[in-house]
A and B are shown apart, each in its own frame.
Chain A
Amino acid sequence: MKKNTNNLKEPFVRIVKRDNITIPKVIIVYSVAIVAGLLLCGIICTLFSDKGLFDFFESLFNGAFGSERKLWLLLQDTSLLLGVSMALLPAFKMKFWNLGGNGQILVSCLSAVACMYYLGGKVADSIIIPLMLLASVVSGALWAVIPAIFKAKFNTNESLFTLMMNYIAQGLVALFITIWVKTGSGVLAPIPYGNVPEIGNKYLLPIILFAVITVLMYIYLRFSKHGYEISVVGESINTAKYVGIKVDKVIIRTMILSGAIAGLVGFILAGSINHTVSTASANNMGFTGIMTTWLAAFNPLIVVLTSFFITFISKGMMDVRKTFMFTNDAISNIVVGIIYFIVIVCSFFINYKLVFRKKEKEEIKK
């Protein structure tokens, strides 16, 4: 038996932790990953179509930047995603895994549309709109604070709880649509009341609003006492208790804030963009926001970049679909998935490197 092990070779590959990697290097690694991901996706798309790689990139960029309208839409959708990310960020920083972004957005859309539906035409818009804002923010906060209270008092699992709240929100939306839509079509037509007035053009309001919120969130997390408490609770509950931070209070307070910002997104969606509500109103941003915040390592300013990138890919891929004549969105979903995957995997290579057996032998010879 002894002989047997003697013949064994040393391990083929070992994972070694990297020390401090410089920021330019990080940027290069990510850029390479993104370019490689896009190339790979382009190649995959060309396999399923007679179009070439060049067409892929042309329509990708065309879809995102091709016209003034597309550019504004890109910025608007980026800002919405940014808003959702800002809602999730304080919770994540506290290690409270809020998977209920969708639900929080949906209930706040629903509350806003309820104001529009019931009050529209009876009272002036100047009264309806503040009421919508209030209803959205309060309902979003409520949807977030319920799991927070259970977490704080009974230590329930917040991921499952917030996730389940999504389905309740969806159910509520479906219920009210059946009540409101008498035709049975299941689609609520845009309501002409309580529409938030445009500033500049119809895209600018969310862009300005969520840019301001991002800056405020950065200041809140970095310079306020509340933000400091969030960090301490997130890093170590024991340390928080040791210095007398009331952990329950911080969890509940932070989730109210988180839900309120999600509510603001819902308000904008209902009052300024869609003027209606459907079960898909949240556009899955509650989950996409998880990607943006994690990729940005919870830094609000970097979330701007990740939100932009993710919105760019999804907008661009819509045009690619048209050009390549994919009749369903399966292939474009796969492609987007691959790009996400590659970007996430490359963060592994920022922290670790692989050492192979052969290379090591050479090192010894040196």
Chain B
Amino acid sequence: MEKTVILQLKNITKKFGAKVIANNNISLDIYKGEILSVLGENGCGKTTLMNMVAGIYYPDSGKILIDGEEVIIRSPRDAFEHKIGMIHQHFKLIDIYTAAQNVALGVEGEKFNLKEVKNRINEMAKKYGFHINLDKKIYEMSVSEKQTVEILKVLYRGADILILDEPTAVLTPQEIRSLFKVLSAMRNDGKSIIIITHKLNEVMEISDRVSVLRKGEHIATVNTAETSEKELTEMMVGKKVELNINRTDPVDNKIRLSVSGLTVVNSDGYKVLDDVSFNAYSGEILGIAGIAGSGQKELLETIAGLNNYQSGTLTYYHPKKDKPVSFYHKTYKRVMELARENAFKDEKGNDIDFSKLSKKEIKDLVNSERIIFKEDEVVDLKNKNPREIRELGIRLSFVPEDRLGMGLVGNMNIIDNMMLRSYRKGKSMFLDRKKPSDLADRIISELEVNTPDSHTAVRKLSGGNVQKVLVGREIAAAPAVLMTAYPVRGLDINSSYTIYNLLNEQKQNGVAVIFVGEDLDVLMALSDKILVLSGGKISGIVDARTVTKDEIGLLMVKTNKDEVTE
């Protein structure tokens, strides 16, 4: 079949400020009736490039040609005039309108006739194989349904060139499959489709050709049939990379954290966690899978002491077995409480009769480290905020999803961010910046953080380096439980593997690691067990070594009312 070029980008350059060159002299051709993947790591400029085609940005230099004619695209409206439509990563829909209303919204030059609109949408849906209820309101929809509405919106405006920005990021394996079916149908109908992605397996599965970008440069465009995942990775990263996660067998499993019947209702009155029970063990990585917004965030935040919960218990098992009790984190009162619970023994392993001892004698025994825990100390985390948890000496580290909005302070430098957890130490009313400064230097050198110095504001670092600073700080606290939420989101391949290795290292050191992830391949390669959340409930806890991707996919949508589109 003779291929005609429909869209041409010629020598496109876009800079942000003087230093950031998002796109440097990029030229691309897109044919009619093909699926082109634009592949590259986060921050390589793929979205920027496509935003220029869609009229969000304007190029600093270079030309865009459609059907061989130069065009000026200054706004998304201009883009639609040229039959270009973009489906952004963050949907731009009106929640309280129905699917049909959203599609009809903003279309000029025709009378608003919802019935007519619906007929036309249904025609399109039939043609390409969409399943959609046009009278459903957006807020009642799943992510994949919302995406369908976005695609219909673009098609309705007559787009022949569709750009999809990371369309599979939030979909289950089953939903991805049906999306790909639809995309193939559109290609066969003569539409040109550009998919922005960083997932190799999808590139291989769906696209006809692949354009690889790296650091704003166009590296190559190849036919998918003539390349391999390995070759593409090397083009993306610029050097050979080892893509194996070394999963060791868990050793010395002891219970560290026990969650039982946890139910959390958020401020809007929705049940975000419903009767969640599980245990986290030392020396093991517990993966948590689920569609975005299934309660992952709330679960970790509740354990970390940031949310109140309505019912259930959170129990932490402090690794204190055979270790002496001290007044460093415990009051005399707490020691006596534990004594009543018969938690202690002496150096020889015998029980201690506290009733015969005076207060002073007990204090002396504690100070000379002669009162020893029989078992791991059991601590109820109920109604304890992060500060109280820390003051109990509990080593619970948390790498939250929102790095700069919660885990770190963007406008502060690395040293001051190191202090966040520890600045209270000591009685002085002034800050001690010496130790945080040493820690910052250590993390910068050990984790190879790319920064001019430790006095640089964290916000100026790239995503990967921000995450290294955050994970570095949380690991430096020598955690017994380490919780991480989407720790590699937005990171390049090398940084991602640095993080995976760090988590594995922690696991081997006997830490109970909880890992909330979105990439099922990674979850299955890294975790020992996978807990699947669906609508705030646990829909299954499976062995990561034997489970299949499809099984997890089904668990992810298990309790959803909506049908699973197969």
Q: Mark B39-55, 1 if CB is under 8 A from A, else 0.
A: 00000000000000000
Chain A residues with CB under 8 Å of B386's CB are 241-244
Once A19-B19, A225-B431 are accepted as A-B contacts, the answer to whether A244 and B405 lie under 8 Å apart by CB is no
Q: Is the CB of B60 within 8 A of A238?
A: no
Chain A residues with CB under 8 Å of B183's CB are none
Chain B residues with CB under 8 Å of A14's CB are 58
- Decide if A118 is an interface residue (CB 8 Å cutoff): no
* Cα–Cα distance between A37 and B239 once the two chains are bound (Å): 56
* Cβ < 8 Å to B, chain A residues 208-236: 223-226, 228, 231-232, 235-236
Partner of B416, one of A5, A228, A242, A364: A228
Chain B residues with CB under 8 Å of A226's CB are 429
* Cα–Cα distance between A239 and B423 once the two chains are bound (Å): 14
* Cα–Cα distance between A232 and B385 once the two chains are bound (Å): 17
Q: Is the CB of A225 within 8 A of B17?
A: no
Q: Is the CB of B405 within 8 A of A228?
A: no
Q: Is the CB of B419 within 8 A of A239?
A: no
Once A18-B17, A223-B430 are accepted as A-B contacts, the answer to whether A228 and B58 lie under 8 Å apart by CB is no
- Decide if A200 is an interface residue (CB 8 Å cutoff): no
Chain B residues with CB under 8 Å of A364's CB are 61
- Decide if B200 is an interface residue (CB 8 Å cutoff): no
Q: Is the CB of B81 within 8 A of A1?
A: yes
Q: Mark B48-72, 1 if CB is under 8 A from A, else 0.
A: 0000000000101100000001111
* Cβ < 8 Å to A, chain B residues 396-412: 398, 400, 402, 405-412
- Decide if B177 is an interface residue (CB 8 Å cutoff): no
* Cα–Cα distance between A180 and B411 once the two chains are bound (Å): 52
Q: Is the CB of B78 within 8 A of A5?
A: yes
Partner of B60, one of A2, A228, A360: A360
Q: Is the CB of B74 within 8 A of A11?
A: yes
Q: Is the CB of A9 within 8 A of B72?
A: yes
Q: Is the CB of B407 within 8 A of A242?
A: yes
Of all chain A residues, the one with the shortest Cβ separation from B69 is A6
Q: Shortest distance in angstroms between B202's beta carbon and chain A's nearest beta carbon?
A: 33
Chain A residues with CB under 8 Å of B428's CB are 225
Q: Shortest distance in angstroms between A12's beta carbon and chain B's nearest beta carbon?
A: 10
Q: Is the CB of A224 within 8 A of B305?
A: no
Q: Shortest distance in angstroms between A227's beta carbon and chain B's nearest beta carbon?
A: 8
- Decide if B304 is an interface residue (CB 8 Å cutoff): yes
Q: Is the CB of B58 within 8 A of A235?
A: no
Once A8-B78, A11-B74 are accepted as A-B contacts, the answer to whether A242 and B304 lie under 8 Å apart by CB is yes
* Cα–Cα distance between A3 and B387 once the two chains are bound (Å): 64
* Cα–Cα distance between A246 and B386 once the two chains are bound (Å): 10
Partner of A6, one of B72, B387, B407: B72
- Decide if B421 is an interface residue (CB 8 Å cutoff): yes
Q: Is the CB of B82 within 8 A of A2?
A: yes
* Cα–Cα distance between A341 and B411 once the two chains are bound (Å): 27
- Decide if B234 is an interface residue (CB 8 Å cutoff): no
- Decide if A202 is an interface residue (CB 8 Å cutoff): no
* Cβ < 8 Å to B, chain A residues 327-366: 360, 363-364
Of all chain B residues, the one with the shortest Cβ separation from A244 is B387
Q: Is the CB of A225 within 8 A of B409?
A: no
Residue of A2, A226, A235, A242 with most partner-chain B CB within 10 A? A242
Partner of A239, one of B18, B69, B385, B405: B405
Once A17-B17, A224-B430, A244-B385 are accepted as A-B contacts, the answer to whether A5 and B406 lie under 8 Å apart by CB is no
Q: Is the CB of A19 within 8 A of B18?
A: yes
Partner of B431, one of A2, A224, A360: A224
Chain A residues with CB under 8 Å of B69's CB are 6
* Cβ < 8 Å to A, chain B residues 363-398: 385-390, 398
Chain B residues with CB under 8 Å of A5's CB are 71-72, 78, 81-82
Partner of B412, one of A2, A223, A235, A238: A235
* Cα–Cα distance between A364 and B13 once the two chains are bound (Å): 11
- Decide if A296 is an interface residue (CB 8 Å cutoff): no
- Decide if B340 is an interface residue (CB 8 Å cutoff): no
- Decide if B420 is an interface residue (CB 8 Å cutoff): yes
Q: Shortest distance in angstroms between B430's beta carbon and chain A's nearest beta carbon?
A: 5
* Cα–Cα distance between A2 and B405 once the two chains are bound (Å): 44
- Decide if A16 is an interface residue (CB 8 Å cutoff): yes
- Decide if A10 is an interface residue (CB 8 Å cutoff): yes
A-B pair number, CB within 8 angstroms: 97
Chain A residues with CB under 8 Å of B402's CB are 238
- Decide if A305 is an interface residue (CB 8 Å cutoff): no
* Chain B interface, number of residues (Cβ within 8 angstroms): 45
* Cα–Cα distance between A242 and B387 once the two chains are bound (Å): 9
- Decide if B16 is an interface residue (CB 8 Å cutoff): yes
Chain A residues with CB under 8 Å of B416's CB are 228, 231
* Cα–Cα distance between A1 and B77 once the two chains are bound (Å): 12
Q: Shortest distance in angstroms between A3's beta carbon and chain B's nearest beta carbon?
A: 10
- Decide if B131 is an interface residue (CB 8 Å cutoff): no
- Decide if A34 is an interface residue (CB 8 Å cutoff): no
* Cα–Cα distance between A217 and B446 once the two chains are bound (Å): 37
Q: Shortest distance in angstroms between A249's beta carbon and chain B's nearest beta carbon?
A: 11
Q: Shortest distance in angstroms between A202's beta carbon and chain B's nearest beta carbon?
A: 35
Of all chain A residues, the one with the shortest Cβ separation from B18 is A19
Q: Shortest distance in angstroms between A254's beta carbon and chain B's nearest beta carbon?
A: 14
Partner of B306, one of A11, A223, A242: A242
Residue of A1, A226, A228, A244 with most partner-chain B CB within 10 A? A244
Q: Shortest distance in angstroms between B85's beta carbon and chain A's nearest beta carbon?
A: 15
- Decide if B424 is an interface residue (CB 8 Å cutoff): yes
- Decide if A114 is an interface residue (CB 8 Å cutoff): no
- Decide if A29 is an interface residue (CB 8 Å cutoff): no
Chain B residues with CB under 8 Å of A232's CB are 409, 412, 420
- Decide if A245 is an interface residue (CB 8 Å cutoff): yes
Q: Is the CB of B58 within 8 A of A243?
A: no
Q: Shortest distance in angstroms between A230's beta carbon and chain B's nearest beta carbon?
A: 12
Chain A residues with CB under 8 Å of B387's CB are 243-246
Partner of A242, one of B61, B406, B430: B406
* Cα–Cα distance between A232 and B82 once the two chains are bound (Å): 48
* Cα–Cα distance between A226 and B423 once the two chains are bound (Å): 10
Of all chain B residues, the one with the shortest Cβ separation from A245 is B387
Chain B residues with CB under 8 Å of A9's CB are 72
Q: Mark B75-95, 1 if CB is under 8 A from A, else 0.
A: 000100110000000000000
Chain A residues with CB under 8 Å of B78's CB are 5, 8
Q: Is the CB of B304 within 8 A of A235?
A: no
Chain A residues with CB under 8 Å of B388's CB are 244
Q: Is the CB of B405 within 8 A of A236?
A: yes
Once A244-B305, A360-B60 are accepted as A-B contacts, the answer to whether A239 and B406 lie under 8 Å apart by CB is yes
* Cα–Cα distance between A213 and B429 once the two chains are bound (Å): 18
Chain A residues with CB under 8 Å of B74's CB are 8, 10-11
* Cα–Cα distance between A363 and B409 once the two chains are bound (Å): 39
Q: Shortest distance in angstroms between A297's beta carbon and chain B's nearest beta carbon?
A: 11
Chain A residues with CB under 8 Å of B430's CB are 223-225
Q: Is the CB of A2 within 8 A of B407?
A: no
* Cα–Cα distance between A241 and B398 once the two chains are bound (Å): 13
Partner of A235, one of B72, B305, B400, B410: B410
* Cα–Cα distance between A360 and B58 once the two chains are bound (Å): 12
Of all chain A residues, the one with the shortest Cβ separation from B424 is A225
Chain B residues with CB under 8 Å of A19's CB are 17-19
Chain B residues with CB under 8 Å of A236's CB are 405-406, 409-410
User: Which residues of chain B have a CB within 8 Å of any CB of chain A?
Assistant: 16-19, 58, 60-61, 69-72, 74, 78, 81-82, 304-306, 385-390, 398, 400, 402, 405-412, 416, 419-421, 423-424, 428-431
The 9 closest A-B pairs by CB, nearest first: A244-B387, A244-B386, A19-B17, A238-B406, A235-B409, A243-B420, A19-B18, A242-B406, A5-B81
* A–B pairs, 27, beta carbons within 8 Å: A2-B82, A6-B69, A6-B70, A6-B71, A6-B72, A8-B72, A16-B17, A223-B430, A224-B429, A225-B429, A225-B430, A226-B429, A228-B431, A231-B409, A235-B409, A235-B410, A239-B409, A241-B306, A241-B385, A242-B306, A242-B398, A244-B385, A244-B388, A244-B389, A246-B387, A360-B61, A363-B61
A-B contacts besides A8-B72, A231-B409, 14 pairs, CB < 8 Å: A5-B82, A10-B58, A224-B431, A225-B431, A228-B419, A228-B431, A232-B409, A236-B405, A239-B408, A241-B385, A242-B400, A242-B407, A243-B387, A244-B386
